[in-house]
Structure 1
Amino acid sequence: MSVVERSRNLVSDTDRSRLVVFALLSPLALFFGVLWFVPMVYSIWASLFANPLGAAEFVGLGNYVTLVTSSEFFAFLWNSVFFAISTTVLCLVVGLLFALVVNRTLRGGGILRTLMIFPYLLPTVVVVFLWQFLLDQNLGLVNRVLVDTGLIAAPIAFFGDASLAMPSIITASVWKWGSFAFFIILANLQAIPDEYFERAQVQGASQWQQFRDIMFPHLRGAILLIILVRGIWMFNKFDIIWLTTRGGPAEATTTLPIWVYDLSIRLGNFGQGTALAIIMFVLLSIVGVVYFVALNPEQEVAE
């Protein structure tokens, strides 16, 4: 076979490969384009009108200006950030502690892993009912124990107190989603070769030194992943807050997703509701860009 014929065959093989890739990816690109691009364009368009579902009155950036300049915006933004950071950090701490225990436990490790998955598998509404019962002012087990032990003089309305409602929701959230961090960290811990720990023990390294020099470098990529994924999820979390407090009492637990619902559904201000959703998307996009630029998680995974 001549060089020219070989070149033609290579070109034809390359073209076939490109056609196959194009044929496989085109439906996928079209599918995600319809599901993502079209709703995004419509949301941006709707946010520029006072009432896009009715007699659409074009207001331009008026909805955005009204939202950002309102006193509620920064208060609800703070609630969202506080809820997201608190639940993410606590989920990470709880998941790390339990993963370290299970990883070093020879007996009962399977039972502990099974127990850890139960909260994650429960529907959110069941978790809410459970914690509402536990923290109930009259019948709750927590209040009964606190009163019987003399730690408090009278039962506390945990979800009805403006200063305790958010910590109570955070506690329930960590109980449910802490296992997310647990299983990711445990999988990474069990992937570390045993020889590393054996060498460290021979050299007289303490438990803390083994964690600092062996475990943490292997866990850093997983920890960064948990922070990003869980942080975004909790910032956008709606169901557990709405089911427990509806954003109350006195808007103490009203976050931006709850405000989107209030504006769009309860108040019928769909223009401002979609504008607020766009603002949330922009804020999370900025956080994502800063995350990837500053922390470079891909390098951590590669290492």
Structure 2
Amino acid sequence: MDERRFLLLATFVPVAGFFAVVWLAPILYALGMSLFDNPTGAASFVGVANYADILTSVGFPKYLWNSVVYAVSSTVLSLLVGLGLALVVNQQVRGGNALRTLMIFPYLLPTLVVIFMWKFILDPNLGVLNQYLVQWGVLESPIAFFSTLQWAMPAVVVASVWKFGSFAFFILLARLQAIDPNLYERARVEGASTWQSFRDITLPHLRGAILIILLVRGIWMFNKFDIIFLSTRGGPLEATTTLPIRVYQLAFSEVNFGGATALAGIMFFLLALVAVVYFRAFEPEKEVAN
């Protein structure tokens, strides 16, 4: 064995072993637990019965829909907010450096603090937003946003966008600053409008970063538990009960660990399928490389 192959093997074996221990083994263990009726106690093998029970349950379509709505809306809005602010800061306007510094603070704040803050802002009695909306005549009476069927999900999404919009902001800003300014100068000389420059220069250069943000942030938000649990506990009347919240309810409220692990397995397979389709359709790694 030559030196090159030896070094490759010496590097591959520890890395493969590490990922097998911290990644593959827990996944296989969790999927194995989902095949038993009570994995933590006197378990009996039930095969895919747990999966069948979850998929045929009355509430599964609603929980899945809530997860999709929450993940898609919070991800897309975070992207749009991050893109808008990144475009402003990239123009080197006055106060841009201060805005760039301030954008990191929502991401650094603990989720508990963020939820307390937004619960205070949206509180029907003390919240400043309700007070201004009633004062300006937009509302006739205050709204308990986190406790109302119509507004609970939008309220959770707003809190999520406020916290995680900076994720898209910094990625897009870094990509914007890597674009050659001469491209815009040539476009202006040729008479291109601001919109045409954005469409033909900015957007193509940002496409790879946007695709990565949509995938990574979308997966994170689909699996997000803490924001919804701390703000609404999945209520009111399951209006914000997503699949992660339902996994918690099955495991700790209904003591149905088999069903909980099966639902977690279903989430894993759904996200794996989405990721495979996503990479085959868009090939974002090539976009970033370009």
TM-score by length of 2: 0.97
Q: Which stretch has the larger CA shift, 266-275 or 99-108?
A: 99-108
Post-superposition CA distance 1:272-291 (Å, at most 9, x none): 10000110000001100110
For residue 157 of structure 1, report the CA deviation from its aligned partner: 0.5
Post-superposition CA distance 1:130-171 (Å, at most 9, x none): 000000111111111111112112111000101100000000
| 1:215 and 2:184 aligned | no
Post-superposition CA distance 1:175-218 (Å, at most 9, x none): 11011111111111110011111111111110001001110110
Residue correspondence of structure 1 range 99-118 to structure 2 within 5 A: 99-118=86-105
Post-superposition CA distance 1:89-126 (Å, at most 9, x none): 10111111111111113432211101111111111111
Q: Determine the structure 2 residue equivalent to 1:267.
A: 254
Q: Aligned letter for 2:40?
A: L
Counterparts of 1:300 and 1:25 in 2: how far apart (Å)?
27
Q: Aligned letter for 1:40?
A: I
| Partner secondary structure for residue 184 of structure 2 | helix
Counterparts of 2:26 and 2:77 in 1: how far apart (Å)?
34
Q: Determine the structure 2 residue equivalent to 1:291.
A: 278
Q: Determine the structure 2 residue equivalent to 1:94.
A: 81
| Partner secondary structure for residue 152 of structure 1 | coil
Q: Aligned letter for 1:293?
A: R
Q: Determine the structure 1 residue equivalent to 2:122.
A: 135
| 1:61 and 2:16 aligned | no
Q: Which stretch has the larger CA shift, 166-175 or 50-59?
A: 50-59
Counterparts of 2:120 and 2:285 in 1: how far apart (Å)?
43
Q: Percent identity?
A: 61
| 1:184 and 2:171 aligned | yes
Q: CA RMSD in A?
A: 1.1
Q: Determine the structure 1 residue equivalent to 2:113.
A: 126
Matched positions, count: 290
| 1:301 and 2:282 aligned | no
TM-score by length of 1: 0.93
Structure 1 unaligned blocks of 5 or more = 1-11
For residue 254 of structure 1, report the CA deviation from its aligned partner: 0.3
Q: Aligned letter for 1:113?
A: R
Counterparts of 2:228 and 2:73 in 1: how far apart (Å)?
14
Q: Aligned letter for 2:202?
A: M
Structure 2 unaligned blocks of 5 or more = none
Q: Aligned letter for 2:222?
A: F
Q: Determine the structure 2 residue equivalent to 1:154.
A: 141
Counterparts of 2:95 and 2:26 in 1: how far apart (Å)?
49
Q: Which stretch has the larger CA shift, 267-276 or 35-44?
A: 35-44
| Partner secondary structure for residue 71 of structure 1 | coil
Counterparts of 1:93 and 1:84 in 2: how far apart (Å)?
14
Larger Rg: 1
Q: Determine the structure 2 residue equivalent to 1:173.
A: 160
